[in-house]
Structure 1
């Protein structure tokens, strides 16, 4: 175990620096020193799927896990989003939201981070991990929630969403994206006048955010998902003993429904979004996840205009 002190010596300063830098964006947002970005790269639509000239059945916002660093990238190359659009042309789907940036700015394209990626790609991973913990920190959580909630609301408006129209808004989140999704509920409700429907896939979140203004939360999980099980150990608010946490209040109010996607795993060749791992019924894990998400969305009835 002589290697352990060396690893700690190397990673310790890196983790400390990341912990400090992770707060930088939310503080810039709060002080107003920098305004959040609103535009997208040339040629990139604000949403895909249903005809923007007609109200879709629902708007679906996809919040990816900690690997996201561009407008377009996702951990599976966008296969889940593509499958959802192909199977549900009635949806308007947004996948370009930056859940780990209060300023709505992707890491890719920043000169400093591009250099870091060439020499120490692990830091990009650590950056988004630390952003989750900033979003979960009670000192910064309200600020982070307001920043990213406003980003999502702004993107929805640009994609054609009309506040108070009653058209459902669905936040589909993978892994750490669940921390952002649960935190965005109040801001979306305030700006758009609709209670968002949350669908978490292997959700990694602290359970502290208030879900009283959410329409419902569907927890897609698996007994083989070790990372989500670790989440309950890292964040005690997810445990039943913390009865006053937002998660447990929502559970008692009947706002949380658990759906098992066994035998899927969080990552790897048998993950929730793997097109190459198959279930006993012959469907791939990707197809099963897609079918489950769409069934939950289609079971949601529009609230009607207010």
Structure 2
């Protein structure tokens, strides 16, 4: 009986996987051919950024790249709780959460007519679409195009939020799960366009380790022994293995650019995930509170260290 059920599942999901594998490349190829340009339109009433007052420069810009649950301009994975916690806890930051990490054309998946129908009838397809986009972003044949497309999207959104190239204000890219593939890939394009200090923070980061992050000043890796999905990524991508010494990830390790921070016993998803508002720690904080506190502390520590290294203004 179990074998029969498995065959039925594979029979139903298999064709969907094949179709998504073929379609996932379409958007990046359309971008490369110049047939369509990335959209810059946001929903009516949605500001280009939230947090620090737009009338004065913030201490840093924070770009949140969500996991594969991202389907809209708004932060949908957790109802926007993580972004809200960051804004509430660090009003000195200007936060952008509308970037579409799984769309080189910056098109929200849930707003496309055909996907609205699919969401009502075959919700699994939406999940698989973003999974496949993550693997397209990691594929060496499409990775440079994908990196340039999403890096340019982030740079454009930062400019609309008030970022001035060469201003010296840090840009922090906080990425969850597959968003780490996009964040590490966007580094080169962001540096090329904005020449900003770039800091990366990955939360349960799922990425192949091939991207060159030499223009990022540091990467803080938030992980947990309970995160099986991130651990799978470290096994399945050879560039994450120590044997591949010259991968972007291992070069960054040798340069001392990667620091690991443990958020045990959090899991990748589910009721005990990094962003769970219900799972509690011995100190009474929720997993969500601890994650937000950790991200804010890391940013403030680096801002302080940068200010000290620059010395007093004459």
Q: For the superposition of Structure 1 and Structure 2, which TM-score range results when normalised by the shorter chain?
A: over 0.9
Checking the alignment, whether the CA contact within 8 Å between 2:169 and 2:197 is kept in structure 1 is: no
**Alignment check: 8 A CA contact 2:273 2:287 kept:** yes
Q: CA RMSD in A?
A: 1.2
Match of 1:179 in 2: 181
CA contact (8 A) 1:185 1:195 kept: no
Does residue 281 in structure 1 map to residue 283 in structure 2? Answer: yes
The residue aligned with 1:117 is 119
Residue by residue over 1:283-302, the C-alpha shift from the partner in whole angstroms, topping out at 9 and shown as x without a partner, is 11111111110111112235
- C-alpha separation between the residues in 1 aligned to 2:18 and 2:97? 31
Question: How many angstroms apart in 2 are the aligned matches of 1:93 and 1:236?
Answer: 34
Match of 2:150 in 1: 148
2:261 aligns with 259
- Separation of aligned partners in 2, 1:278 and 1:2: 40
Structure 2 distance, partners of 1:244, 1:238, is 10
1:154-165 to 2 correspondences below 5 Å: 154-165=156-167
Bigger helix fraction: 2
Distance 2:266 2:15 in 1: 36
Q: Equivalent of 1:247, from 231, 245, 249?
A: 249
Aligned twin of 1:296: 298
Judge conservation of contact 1:22–1:130 (CA < 8 Å) in 2.
Answer: yes
**Length, aligned pairs only:** 304
Task: Map 1:60-209; keep pairs closer than 5 Å.
Answer: 60-209=62-211
- Give CA-to-partner distance per residue, 1:39-84, whole Å, 9 cap, x none: 2011000100001110000000000000110011331111110010
Deviations 1:4-49 (A, max 9, x none): 3333232222111101111011011101000100120110001000
Tell me the distance in 1 between the aligned counterparts of 2:300 and 2:265. 24
- Could you tell me the TM-score, scaled by structure 1's length? 0.97
Secondary structure class of the residue paired with 1:299 = helix
CA–CA separation in structure 2 for the residues paired with 1:74 and 1:244:
36
* Secondary structure in 1 matching 2:144: helix
Q: TM-score, normalised by structure 2?
A: 0.95
Provide the C-alpha distance between the structure 1 equivalents of 2:8 and 2:123, rounded to a whole number of angstroms: 20
2:234–2:240 Cα contact (<8 Å) kept: yes
The answer to whether the Cα contact below 8 Å between 2:168 and 2:197 also exists between their aligned partners in 1 is no
Runs of 4+ aligned structure 1 residues displaced above 4 Å come to none
Distance 1:277 1:179 in 2: 27
Partner residue, 1:28:
30
Cα distance between partner residues in 2 of 1:8 and 1:289: 37
Instruction: Measure the CA separation in 2 of the matches of 1:120 and 1:286.
Output: 30
SS of the equivalent of 1:241 reads: coil
- The corresponding residue for 1:43 is 45
Which shifted more, 213-222 or 230-239? 230-239
